[in-house]
Amino acid sequence: MAIYKKVKKLSPEEAAYIAGLIDGEGTIALTRKHRGEYRQLMVSISSTEPPLLKYVKKAIGAGRITNKCTHQANHTPSVTYAISNRQALALLEQVRPYLKTYKAKRAHLILRSYIRLTPRNGKYTLALLKERDIFIEKFLRLNPRRQILATESPD
């Protein structure tokens, strides 16, 4: 069995700073690692400054940093810090009061419903799956770009 690192208790200043990074350069997402799997909570921050994300990882005490692929020679190499599932929940509990964008609403929805709708053993009843699907749709609608695309009419 894997042993997971606990998320450290952040000072208010650290929590506010990391919330700003999430608001500006990060995502709060429900992603699939593989096709056909259930969606999992993921909080990530991308940057072209590896020392910045090393600071984030050290302050939080969990998560991982990966290199992003550079597809064109003129693109600056970048890295991504990512934390998922229960560790991401623990992070969101601390940074949510400081989030200012639509990500604050996403964090609120996640903190209110994610644990109840995500059994640790992965066994879902049909009723729970239906409720989870509604939750995911609400979550995905909390993206302003998706709202703009839905309201645009074809030319």
Looking at residue 150, its pLDDT comes to 45
Position 1 in a domain: no
Looking at residue 69, its pLDDT comes to 78
Cα–Cα distance between 106 and 89 in angstroms, integer?
Answer: 12
Backbone angles phi, psi at 106, to 5 degrees: -60, -45
Residues in the chain with pLDDT values less than 70: 1-2, 145-155
Looking at residue 153, its pLDDT comes to 47
CATH number of the domain that residue 142 is part of: 3.10.28.10
Position 5 in a domain: no
Position 3 in a domain: no
Helix (H) or strand (E) holding 144: helix 144-151
Helix (H) or strand (E) holding 103: helix 102-113
Cα–Cα distance between 109 and 72 in angstroms, integer?
Answer: 37
Number of folded domains that form the chain: 1
Position 80 in a domain: yes
Helices first, then strands: H and E counts in the chain: 6, 4
Backbone angles phi, psi at 65, to 5 degrees: -120, 130
Looking at residue 74, its pLDDT comes to 79
In the numeric block, which tokens belong to residue 85? Answer: 């599932």
Which domain range does residue 135 map to? 12-151
Looking at residue 149, its pLDDT comes to 44
Burial 129-155 (b: 16+ CB within 10 A, else e): eeebeebeeebeebbeeeeeeeeeeee
Looking at residue 75, its pLDDT comes to 80
Looking at residue 146, its pLDDT comes to 56
Q: Which of 11, 7, 3 is nearest to 62 (CA)?
A: 7
